[in-house]
Amino acid sequence: MPGYLVKHERIAIGGAADLTIRSLLDHQQFSDPRDAALRLGISSAAWPMFGLLWPSGRQLAAHMAVRPLRAGERILEIGCGLGLASLVSHRRGADVTASDCHPLAASFLAENLRLNGLPPMAYRHGHWSASGGAALACAPGDPPAVHGRFDLIIGSDLLYERDESASLARFIARHAEPGAQVLIVDPDRGNRAAFTRQMGVLGYGVIQLRLDRAASDGLPAYKGRLLSYRQPATPR
């Protein structure tokens, strides 16, 4: 690919069939010839993060592989990166929308759908750190912004920086149906407690499940937790 190198891997996911995933070759890749990422505040160091497979993303995908599907349920993955959890859910027949703010996330997702013989899947631009927390498109012609409300919002490794303005929590609340569930896999980052307090202000309680496991089958050990937030349903 012009400006960066990729690799193809067959990814084993507990509870589901393997997926073939195209990702960046390593974390040294970078290509932003039109400054699309720069305009979004994505630095050269952060640029490749969307295109790598992260342990927490694998954990979320494994959870979505066995979680019961609910009729009519609409699912939104935020900060999807390569969209592993979205791909697993989509293959199971779920109504899922993947979202990210990286300029190349949509094209990588489309290629991974093709590699696995899957039909098209909804993709939206979602940037909770944009002005006012709004989900703004990168530029004319780019994917439309996240809109509407969802019954389940999922994400992994989202709490990587301090968010004193609670932009992520407010973004989630803006797109969550009354009574929606929010599932976030977090590798024990230090911002978890602050985010949970922010969600609490918005009326969300949390249940935490440890996901620690020892190294096995060629995968490294993992320490983290599944955070499940839910707000009491509002009468319609």
Is 32 contained in some domain? Answer: yes
More confident residue, 139 or 57: 57
Q: What is the predicted pLDDT for the residue at 49?
A: 96
Q: What is the pLDDT of residue 142?
A: 74
HEC secondary structure over 111-160? HHHHHCCCCCCEEEECCCCCHHHCCCCCCCCCCCECCCCEEEEEEECCCC
If one counts every other C-beta atom within 10 angstroms of the C-beta of residue 179, the result is 12
H or E stretch covering 79: none
End-to-end CA distance of the chain: 50
* pLDDT for position 217: 74
Read off the tokens for 109. 């997702």
Q: Would you say residue 1 lies in a domain?
A: no
For residue 128, pLDDT beyond 50: yes
Q: Among 39-48, 101-110, 139-148, 177-186, whose mean pLDDT is lowest?
A: 139-148
| Residue 161, domain CATH | 3.40.50.150
Per the model's pLDDT, the better-predicted residue between 215 and 175 turns out to be 175
Mean pLDDT of 166-193: 96
State pTM to two decimals: 0.92
Of 59, 101, 65, which Cα lies nearest the Cα of 187? 59
Q: 185 is in which domain, residue-wise?
A: 6-230
In total, how many domains does the chain have?
1
The pLDDT of residue 215 is: 85
Q: Please check the confidence at residue 133 and state whether its pLDDT lies above 50.
A: no
Evaluate whether residue 173 is within a structural domain.
yes
Note whether residue 236 is domain-resident.
no
For residue 9, give every residue at least 6 positions away whose Cβ sits within 8 Å of its Cβ, in sequence order, or none: 20, 21, 23, 53
* Mean pLDDT, residues 20-26: 98
d(CA 134, CA 73): 24
235 located within any domain: no
